[in-house]
Chain A
Amino acid sequence: MKLTIPAFVGRIAFSALAALIGAIFALPLLWFLFAPFNARAELGLALPDPWTLSNFVTVFGNSYAVQALWNSFIQAVGGVILVGAAATLAAYALSRSSIPGKGAVTYILLLFSSVVSGSAAMVPIFLIISAAGLMDTHLAVILTFAGGLLPTAMFILRDFIDSIPKSYEESAMVAGASPVQAFFDVALPVIRPGIVVVVVWGFVNIWGSFLIPFILLRSDSNMPASVAIYSFYSEAGTPIVTLLAAYSLIYSLPVIALYLFVSWKFGFRFFGGIKA
Chain B
Amino acid sequence: MASVEFKNVTKSFGEFTAVSDVSFDIADGEFVCLLGPSGCGKTTSLRMMAGLETPTSGHILIGGQEVTHLHPKDRNIAMVFQDYALYPHMNLADNIAYPLKVRGEPVAQRHARAKQVADVLKIGHLMDRLPSQISGGQQQRTSLARALVYPAKVYLFDEPLSNLDAKLRLEARGFLNHLQRDMGMTAVYVTHDQAEAMALATRIAVMDQGHIVQFASPIEIYRRPATTFVANFVGNPPMNLVEVEGAQVEGKLALKAEGLAIAALAMTDAIGKALAASGKLTLGVRPEHLGIAQTGATNTITAPLFANENMGPESLVTIDRGDSARVTARIFTDDHLDLSKVVTLRFSTEHVHLFDSTGKRIPALGE
Contact = CB atoms under 8 A, between A and B. Distances in A.
B178 to A, nearest CB: 24
B125 interface: no
B78 interface: yes
A263 B23 CA distance: 55
Interface string A51-75: 0000000000000000000000000
A173 B72 contact: yes
B246 to A, nearest CB: 50
Interface in A149-196: 165, 167-168, 170-178, 181, 185-186, 189-190
A173 B50 CA distance: 9
Given A167-B81, A167-B83, A185-B98, A174 B52 contact: yes
Contacts of A185: 87, 98, 101-102
A176 B102 contact: yes
A123 interface: no
Interface residues of A, number: 18
A170 B85 contact: yes
A175 B146 CA distance: 9
Given A190-B89, A276-B88, A174 B50 contact: yes
Nearest to A178: B73
A174 B88 contact: no
B341 interface: no
Interface residues of B, number: 26
Nearest to B79: A174
Given A181-B102, A185-B98, A173 B85 contact: no
B223 interface: no
Nearest to A173: B72
Contacts of A190: 87-89
Contacts of B156: 174
B207 interface: no
Interface string B88-100: 1100000000110
B103 interface: yes
B239 interface: no
A175 B87 CA distance: 13
Nearest to B132: A276
Nearest to B94: A185
A170 B81 contact: yes
Interface in B75-120: 75-79, 81-83, 85, 87-89, 98-99, 101-103
Interface string B273-294: 0000000000000000000000
17 contacts: A165-B83, A167-B85, A170-B50, A171-B79, A171-B81, A171-B146, A172-B98, A172-B102, A174-B73, A175-B146, A176-B73, A176-B99, A176-B102, A176-B150, A177-B73, A185-B102, A190-B88
Given A173-B51, A173-B52, A174-B156, 6 more contacts: A167-B85, A171-B79, A171-B85, A171-B146, A175-B78, A177-B102
Q: Which 4 pairs between the two chains have the least Cβ-Cβ distance?
A: A175-B99, A167-B85, A171-B85, A189-B89
